[in-house]
Structure 1
Amino acid sequence: MSILHKERLLLDIKGAGNPDSLRSIREEEQNRLEAVLSSSPIMEWVEELNELQDALIARALELVMAEMARLGLGAPPVPYAYLLFGSGGRSEQTMSSDQDSGLIYENPANEADAERLSRYFGTFASTAVQYLISIGYPPCEGNVIASNPEWCMPIGDWERKLDGWFADPSWENVRYLLIAADARLVAGDAELAARWTNRFRRDVLGHPVIARRMMENTLRHKALIGVFGQLLKERYGETAGTLDIKYGAYIPMVNVFRLLAVRSGIRETSTIRRIRALEQAGILPSEEALLATEAIALFMQLRMLASERSEDGIRIVNGKLPAAKLKREWKAPLKNALKLCRKLQRQIERELRSRFGGR
């Protein structure tokens, strides 16, 4: 994207007065990006796409504040932070990513204030989610979303929730902790967001059992490469013969570097930045870091190719790549990338089991 085009795009987004206008901008820009996907360096392309998504979401939240004022509810009464999780938190959204979000606001002064703030930010979050649906972001199927009261609370409640997750490392609570590891501020008060993420990072390093449970969760998705180096395709149903790029390639690699970063106290949330930080810290050899960077770039490219359009114009994706879309020149690099992913999974499993025990 040229500097001039970027400046005009940001001005258009800033000047959009309603979600429909933002949706039109999003569709036009994503059509442009789709047309240049095959000829662009993939990670630059992903960065451009995610800058677009961030700008659209930030403007949508400004429109929400304007709507709150129109309803007579005024400006946010206390500082708040709107967080993205999942691919949004990692700055790795595709053209069909859904909403994974949370809202943190400052603690109330008393019980009456608590009810007032709960009503205000409950309305704010619900309006934000609806606006983003209108723009083309479907809600999270797992209900990790700001309109869910469990993900829209004052900072004190958020901290107690973290304490509860650490105290009871069930499979579900560890999944939530892994979600929290990808949290990234997209709008609002940076200090408030940092207070919560700092609490997470401080506590996670002091819980050995959490590290083991995170490993078990991290290794749930295996790389789609067989013992003889063959690509493992889907065997049944409508997707038979396809490659599950999302859960058989991209997610396993994301999970490995998330766990390595969390264990090492690294604060980056994007996978590429985590790899770089691990290399700079001397935790990941330079040669392996280069191979991992190339692997995640290939997985991202193939993941983008798996998206399709639904009837109403919203892109949908199941993460499955039809075999016909896998070019011959990609097969060997894909196999090598998957072998690296499997190697890293085995390394982290051996190391953590040695340190913390378990089968």
Structure 2
Amino acid sequence: MNTITYRIKDFLKENHPFSFLTSDEQFLIAKNITIRYYEVNELIFEIEKPVNTHFYLVKEGAVGLYAQNNQLTEQCDEGDLFGLRAIIRKDNYKLTAKALEECILYTIPFEMYDEILSINTEVTQFIISNFASNLIAYEKHSDSQKTIISEEELTAKYSKNPVTCVKETTIKEAALLMTERKVGSIIIQENNFPIGIITDKDFRTKIATGKVEISSVVNEIMSSPVICVSEKITVAEAQIVMLKNKITHLCITKSGKNKEEIKGVLSEYDIILIRENNPSVLIKQIKRSHSTEELKKIRIQASELLKRYLFQELDIDFICKIISEINQVITARIIEMAIEKLNQKPPVLFSWISLGSQGRKEQLLLTDQDNAIIFEDSKNNDENRWYFLRLAEIVTQNLHEIGFEYCPANMMASNKEWCLSTNEWKEKYHSWISKPIPENILFCTIFFDIETIFGDGKLEKEVQNSIEKYLQVYPIFTNFLALNSTQNPPPLGFFRQFLLEESGEQKEQFDIKSRAMMPLVDAARLLSIHLQINEKNTLARFRALIMKEPQNEEVYSMCFEAFKTLLKYRTKYGLLKNNSGRFIDLNALNKSEKLQLKVCFKAVKEIQSVVVNRFKLANFM
């Protein structure tokens, strides 16, 4: 009995898609597997090289798949398949595979795919969906539920200037045209309807082999009919169509019919470029980074991802979740690197927390830092604080280096005022809530929205519980918080003109953050505290308020949509001006955009009316 074969079979049955097979089928594949060992950085296969006669299953270690610019697009770990896509497509490799660490790989002859895997429906469905889906699963600190964010909803970005020719064009003329335009395909059209397509592969397999003369016309080697898809096709759908049809290019028409005008072309390489800026790939890269230089490059990629998402008109709530998650993973990695640099483990448990917009997961642009540290109480609080201040100094400096500016008000963990033990934080919150003077109210509007980025979230939860207790002991505080939330009235003057800054660098500009967004943020926080809603994100708070008080659904829904609009405006303007997007030149907006802003201001007015009536603020004014 060959014990190695049985060991391989045991491994196969524990991993998809082989787990879908019968025991005999698993054994047959195991018998035909070859075991190979690769050292770190050893090449397994190379981009644009002919495919091997086998594909790969990772037994131990990790393999990186790289695009043309040496950009890591995917990491394959134990149990992952790779190298199969090119074999199914019968074309050159579109990625380079290299060992990221010492690897043991099982190589499986392609005959096993043809004879066993391809005829099993569950196997083929798994392989296609595995190739097509790009998911991120991340854990929310607040409730430990996993949220799945999928790119299956992203519309594929295709080339809108496809190279075309007519069927009478010679192959040589088509080749010259493709070379001149630097593309890998040409669509043959008739009355601007697609009737065929030629790709680089056709030149290799039909012309270079001498099967067809280069002087022949294109309809002798073109693939026909052309596989056409809708201009609204998603990335996942495009990959599935390519895999099912074993092709690398899709013709884009309005609704996906052949008898329609050609709108563009989508190639597998376009998909690879999209995957380079895929959030799941970026997060993997962050976790493997070892320097601020690497993290800065990834943060720039995240900004490009943000631009693409905005261009594709994705929901701003979805975008916030993605970008916030990337920012949090970057911060967590910087903290890990700082601990390594200190060469000393933290003396006690601690929680690195983000404040304000970061704590609410609403930070899309590279704004300034707002962070703090909660560390576990012990007899050595002062000594422990010294460690965490050194840690924070490294972290805040590294965050600054990758683009997050220092907080002008020094509200950072490197400031000893914001690097406190659990009990010290409780005392701080007690002082603020028991004495609702303007300065303390201001601190609360910042420090009520906190989120653990790294460390033990139980410490943050303990502090949050104390806040809830103090609010019950000092109920008058909520009225002062309510009064504060109405201090910024709707930003329109008597003649319904925008209220602009009157002096300083931002003179004649509109402060979208202070005058429009913060009143909504403050109202959502206040009402959530009042109704004991535990959400931290402004949009999530308004959603919860709608459920909690359906009688006010119209107002809360108006605020929900207004905040989304304002967040999108600020983000787009910030990207355009390469700044925080806080101050907007109204001359840059068209009439429709100005009208949209005025609708948002109506939401501010309505929610402030709810607050005034709810907390009877007429007695305080």
| Common fold: TM-score over 0.5 | yes
How far is the alpha carbon of 1:204 from its aligned partner?
1.6
The residue type paired with residue 104 of structure 1 is I
Q: 5 Å matches for 1:1-359?
A: 2-3=134-135, 5-41=278-314, 42-69=316-343, 74-108=344-378, 110=379, 113-282=380-549, 285-307=552-574, 315-317=578-580, 319-353=582-616, 357-359=619-621
Please state whether the residue corresponding to 2:579 is helix, strand or coil: strand
The residue type paired with residue 329 of structure 2 is A
Please state whether the residue corresponding to 1:184 is helix, strand or coil: strand
Structure 2 distance, partners of 1:11, 1:255, is 35
Check the 8 A contact 1:224/1:244 in 2, yes or no: no
The residue type paired with residue 150 of structure 1 is E
* Unaligned runs of at least 5 residues, structure 2: 1-132, 136-274
Structure 2 distance, partners of 1:258, 1:340, is 15
Structure 2 distance, partners of 1:232, 1:268, is 31
Mean Cα displacement is larger for which, 55-64 or 342-351?
A: 342-351
The residue type paired with residue 366 of structure 2 is S
- Deviations along 1:226-278, one digit per CA (max 9) or x if unpaired, are 34443333344543443221111111111111111112221111100111111
* Unaligned runs of at least 5 residues, structure 1: none
Check the 8 A contact 1:96/1:307 in 2, yes or no: no
Structure 2 distance, partners of 1:227, 1:197, is 42
Give RMSD over aligned pairs: 2.2
Change (3 A) 1:130 1:236: closer
Check the 8 A contact 2:279/2:326 in 1, yes or no: no
How far is the alpha carbon of 1:143 from its aligned partner?
1.8
TM-score normalised by structure 1 residue count: 0.90
Q: Higher strand share goes to which structure?
A: 2
Structure 1 distance, partners of 2:283, 2:541, is 28
Higher relative contact order at CA 8 Å, sep ≥6: structure 1 or structure 2?
Answer: 1
Structure 2 distance, partners of 1:239, 1:128, is 31
Please state whether the residue corresponding to 2:351 is helix, strand or coil: strand
Structure 2 distance, partners of 1:218, 1:237, is 25
Structure 1 distance, partners of 2:446, 2:321, is 21
Check the 8 A contact 1:225/1:339 in 2, yes or no: no
Structure 2 distance, partners of 1:284, 1:304, is 32
Mean Cα displacement is larger for which, 238-247 or 21-30?
A: 238-247
Check the 8 A contact 2:556/2:607 in 1, yes or no: no
Mean Cα displacement is larger for which, 125-134 or 316-325?
A: 316-325
Q: Higher helix share goes to which structure?
A: 1
- Deviations along 1:12-40, one digit per CA (max 9) or x if unpaired, are 10111011211111012203322442332
Please state whether the residue corresponding to 1:102 is helix, strand or coil: strand
Please state whether the residue corresponding to 1:205 is helix, strand or coil: helix
Change (3 A) 1:149 1:236: closer
How far is the alpha carbon of 1:339 from its aligned partner?
1.0
TM-score normalised by structure 2 residue count: 0.53
Identity %: 26
The residue type paired with residue 339 of structure 2 is M
How far is the alpha carbon of 1:202 from its aligned partner?
2.2
Mean Cα displacement is larger for which, 288-297 or 344-353?
A: 344-353
The residue type paired with residue 151 of structure 1 is W
Larger Rg: 2
- Deviations along 1:146-187, one digit per CA (max 9) or x if unpaired, are 111111011111111112112222111121122221111111
Mean Cα displacement is larger for which, 215-224 or 259-268?
A: 215-224
After TM superposition, what 4+ stretches of structure 1 lie above 6 angstroms from structure 2?
none
Change (3 A) 1:22 1:79: same
Check the 8 A contact 2:535/2:541 in 1, yes or no: yes
Please state whether the residue corresponding to 1:266 is helix, strand or coil: coil
Check the 8 A contact 2:570/2:581 in 1, yes or no: no
Change (3 A) 1:284 1:161: farther
Change (3 A) 1:328 1:201: same
Mean Cα displacement is larger for which, 79-88 or 315-324?
A: 315-324
The residue type paired with residue 38 of structure 1 is F
Mean Cα displacement is larger for which, 28-37 or 194-203?
A: 28-37
Structure 2 distance, partners of 1:283, 1:138, is 41
Mean Cα displacement is larger for which, 47-56 or 224-233?
A: 224-233
Change (3 A) 1:339 1:226: farther
Structure 1 distance, partners of 2:281, 2:466, is 39
Structure 1 distance, partners of 2:495, 2:438, is 32
Structure 2 distance, partners of 1:275, 1:299, is 15
Change (3 A) 1:153 1:136: same
Structure 2 distance, partners of 1:204, 1:289, is 24
Please state whether the residue corresponding to 1:137 is helix, strand or coil: coil
Mean Cα displacement is larger for which, 80-89 or 231-240?
A: 231-240
Mean Cα displacement is larger for which, 119-128 or 205-214?
A: 205-214
The residue type paired with residue 76 of structure 1 is P
Change (3 A) 1:195 1:284: farther
Structure 2 distance, partners of 1:309, 1:20, is 24
How far is the alpha carbon of 1:137 from its aligned partner?
0.9
Please state whether the residue corresponding to 1:221 is helix, strand or coil: coil
- Deviations along 1:75-94, one digit per CA (max 9) or x if unpaired, are 11211011111110110003
Please state whether the residue corresponding to 1:141 is helix, strand or coil: coil
Aligned length: 347
Structure 1 distance, partners of 2:542, 2:295, is 33
